[in-house]
């Protein structure tokens, strides 16, 4: 049985993590692919040990926040996430993880989910958009470089 936080739960869980105010967001083409960046400098995360034994186990959660930036390093939004460890192998390594994200950019929000299987991230599937992203579909992929990430939003629009 999947143990996961709902999107509302992800926002509630991330709410205790302090964040700074949103600066004016740059315009992005909402129905076209675009990239956003996270230097890793502005990120916070908290772990929740499901069984309290101190080791990684099924049901453990991690909630966090990252500031999203444009290519020039200006803040354009926030990314909140909640991950749930689903499976751990005999060596104590996480083999399956489920992640829900809430991406706030400008006047819109993009909700997405993904699984990490065998240590490899799968593309996030966009489940819903609101505001300027209402009706958006697509995927989000990530390129990691240490603590820095580049998020590739591969969007198409399905106007409501």
- For β-strands 34-38 and 43-48, DSSP reports them as unpaired
Give alpha helix (H) positions in the chain. 7-14
Q: What is the pLDDT along the chain (160 residues), one digit of tens a residue?
A: 333 344 444 343 333 333 333 333 344 556 789 999 998 888 899 999 988 898 899 999 999 999 999 999 999 999 999 999 999 999 988 889 999 999 999 889 999 999 998 878 899 999 999 998 998 999 999 998 888 999 999 998 765 5
How many residues make up the chain in this entry? 160
What is the distance between the alpha carbons of residues 58 and 121, in angstroms, rounded to a whole number? 18
Domain ranges of the chain: 7-18+32-157
What is the distance between the alpha carbons of residues 127 and 1, in angstroms, rounded to a whole number? 21
What is the distance between the alpha carbons of residues 44 and 6, in angstroms, rounded to a whole number? 20
Nearest-5° Cα angle at 74, 106 to 45: 80
Task: Provide the pLDDT for residue 155.
Answer: 92
Query: What pTM did the predictor assign?
Result: 0.78
CATH number of the structural domain 7-18+32-157:
2.40.480.10
């Amino acid at each position: 049985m999947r143990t996961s936080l709902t999107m509302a739960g992800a926002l509630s869980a991330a709410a205790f993590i302090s964040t700074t105010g949103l600066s004016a967001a740059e315009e992005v083409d909402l129905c076209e692919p675009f990239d956003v960046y996270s230097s890793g400098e502005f990120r916070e995360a908290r772990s929740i040990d499901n069984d309290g034994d101190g080791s990684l186990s099924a049901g453990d959660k991690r909630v966090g926040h990252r500031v999203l930036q444009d290519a020039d390093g200006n803040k354009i939004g926030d990314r909140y996430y909640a991950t749930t460890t689903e499976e751990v192998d005999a060596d104590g390594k996480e083999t399956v993880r489920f992640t829900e994200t809430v991406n706030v950019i400008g006047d819109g929000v993009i909700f997405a989910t993904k699984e990490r299987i065998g240590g490899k991230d799968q593309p996030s599937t966009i489940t819903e958009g609101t505001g300027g992203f209402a009706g958006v579909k697509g995927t989000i992929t990530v390129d990691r470089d240490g603590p820095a990430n580049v998020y590739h939003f591969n969007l198409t629009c399905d106007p409501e």
